[in-house]
Amino acid sequence: MKKIALLILASFFSLFLYSQENKTYKNLIDALREPTKVYKLDISDKGLPSTSLKNIEKLVNLKNLNLSGNRITEIPPVLGQLKNLETLNLSRNLISGLAPEIWTLSKLKRLDISINQLSKISPEITKLKNLVCLNLSDNEIEGVPFEISKLTNLVNLDLSSNKIHSLNIEINKFVNLEILNLNNNGLTEIPENIGALKKLKILHLNKNLIKKIPSSIGNLNNLNELLLNNNLLTSLPDEIKNLVNISKLTLHNNNLISLPSGIGNLIKITTLNLSPNKLSTLPLEIGNLKNLSCLNLSINKLTKLPSSIGDLTNLENLNLSKNQLTKIPSKIGELTNIDTLNLSDNKITSLPAEIGKLKNLKNIELSPNNIRTLPEEFFQLKNITTLNLSDNNINTLSSGIGKMSGLTTLDLSKNDLINLPVEIGNLKKLVSLDASRNQLNSLPAEIGELNNLKTLTVNKNQLTAFPQEIGKLTKLKKIYLKDNNISTKQLKKLQKLLPKCKLK
């Protein structure tokens, strides 16, 4: 019985201790009332100056200290007396240098000095041998001390948004590193020995001046996120084919001329951003990326697409805008999960009939191109709400347009239309209709059936009058009709039919 009582007492004590260690004090004055019981202190975002940390050294059991978002310019040496400190957050202050006493905090595991004014890192930082996470981002650091490689327990290292032009360190010593962020520096190259970081999962190298990826990148077979946006890459090494666990690869804003066929090995990729680059062709193997949901190929020099594009059956968003495509392969009809398709700013003359199979398509951009006619199957896309066909060569709009009953916005401007089909009256949900810059000489009476229409744009046509039925459009607020042949008499008649509508 006595043993049971002792066990219960021990359990209560453990629970109390656990509760006490997880209590977070939000005020230094309160914490100093019972200094030995304080394990967590969060006095962030209070605008405190350095002098406000008086007597903090009395918190001898403190493990977690958050001083972020204050006006601290220098670290009081007394912080060096907090020998049990494991986490220290000094981010978002005005610190330009660190007191040497900081390096005596041998139990420190997490140190965040991001968004300050540091210009250099002392080699003494290597005394913090237990560091697991080190964040030095958003400072003015120009170089990393060679000795930093001794911090072999690091799992997360963030050096982003500094002025580091080269990594003259033994980066291969970071054998436990899983996350490395070097975004937004002036790096011109990546050390060849980066391939030794076998545990690396996330590598961020955006916004640098990198021209080449070392072949050793292929050794990082645990990598699942690689960001290389805004660099000067012209090619990728063949060894990239070994990154079989990668799920996110971004290469936005580089100078890539081609992709290696090995990119087809990266079958776990869900997002691939290759815009803008200088790609003129795509390897057939791109069709192996079955898990892709988002593919951005805009602002390149593509003249054609491989038929294997149709194998990307999980694709939901495909952006091909601002290329030099003249046609789209019929295999595009296999992309039955696609939601958004952007084909704008190309030289496309026609669309394949198979486009009508894209039953889940909601958004399609086709302006500007050289399209003269649309296949009848196109009008089976009933989930589309916004249809932009402007700036093409369309001279006849099929009666099939009346089947696209979900349309709320229809842009037919800058074409060669002489008239609109009567079936346009079936578009009951239409809110905006733009048929400006065509050769329309009349509007069908059925336009009066568009009872949700709010904006009608028909300027720069050859209209002489409006049908009497337009007076039924009680929700119409604006008609843009300049540069037509409408007489003053007809304008007065129109205004009488639509007294609440503005004629512009």
d(CA 427, CA 450): 6
CB-CB contact of 267 with 292 (8 Å): no
Q: Is the peptide bond before 368 cis (omega within 30 degrees of 0)?
A: yes
Give the confidence band of 52 by pLDDT, cuts at 50, 70, 90: confident
Helix (H, G, I), strand (E, B) or coil at 124: helix
Q: pLDDT digit string (tens) for 327-364?
A: 999 999 999 999 999 999 999 999 999 999 999 999 99
CB-CB contact of 106 with 124 (8 Å): no
Helix (H, G, I), strand (E, B) or coil at 204: strand
d(CA 451, CA 273): 42
SS3 string, 302-315, reads CCCCCHHHHHCCCC
pLDDT average, residue stretch 48-71 = 93
Helical (H) or strand (E) element with 181: strand 179-181
Q: pLDDT digit string (tens) for 113-170?
A: 999 999 999 999 999 999 999 999 999 999 999 999 999 999 999 999 999 999 989 9
Helix (H, G, I), strand (E, B) or coil at 111: strand
Is it the case that residue 465 has pLDDT exceeding 70? Answer: yes
In this structure, the strands spanning 156-158 and 133-135 are parallel
- What is the predicted pLDDT for the residue at 310? 95
d(CA 421, CA 395): 12
- What is the predicted pLDDT for the residue at 7? 54
Helical (H) or strand (E) element with 496: helix 488-497
Other C-beta atoms within 10 Å of 405: how many? 11
Is it the case that residue 9 has pLDDT exceeding 90? Answer: no
- What is the predicted pLDDT for the residue at 1? 57
pTM of the model: 0.84
Q: Write out the two tokens for 110.
A: 């997490």
- What is the predicted pLDDT for the residue at 5? 53
d(CA 87, CA 70): 17
- What is the predicted pLDDT for the residue at 22? 84
Q: pLDDT digit string (tens) for 169-208?
A: 999 999 999 999 999 999 999 999 999 999 999 999 999 9
DSSP codes joined into one string, 302-354: -----GGGGG-TT--EEE--SS--S---GGGGG-TT--EEE--SS------GG
Nearest to 121 by CA among 155, 147, 87, 83: 147
What structural domains does the chain harbor?
385-504 (3.80.10.10)
Please give the mean pLDDT across all residues of the chain.
Answer: 93
Nearest to 72 by CA among 91, 48, 56: 48
Could you list the beta-strand ranges (E) of 261-305. 271-273, 294-296
d(CA 316, CA 308): 16
Q: pLDDT digit string (tens) for 234-273?
A: 999 999 999 999 999 999 999 999 999 999 999 999 989 9
Nearest to 198 by CA among 167, 228, 169, 177: 177
CB-CB contact of 35 with 59 (8 Å): yes
Residue whose tokens read 């997002």? 271
- What is the predicted pLDDT for the residue at 21? 67
- What is the predicted pLDDT for the residue at 504? 87
For the chain, the straight-line distance linking the first and the last C-alpha, in angstroms and rounded, comes to: 94
Q: pLDDT digit string (tens) for 387-408?
A: 999 999 999 999 999 999 999 9
Helix (H, G, I), strand (E, B) or coil at 432: strand
Amino acid found at 186: G
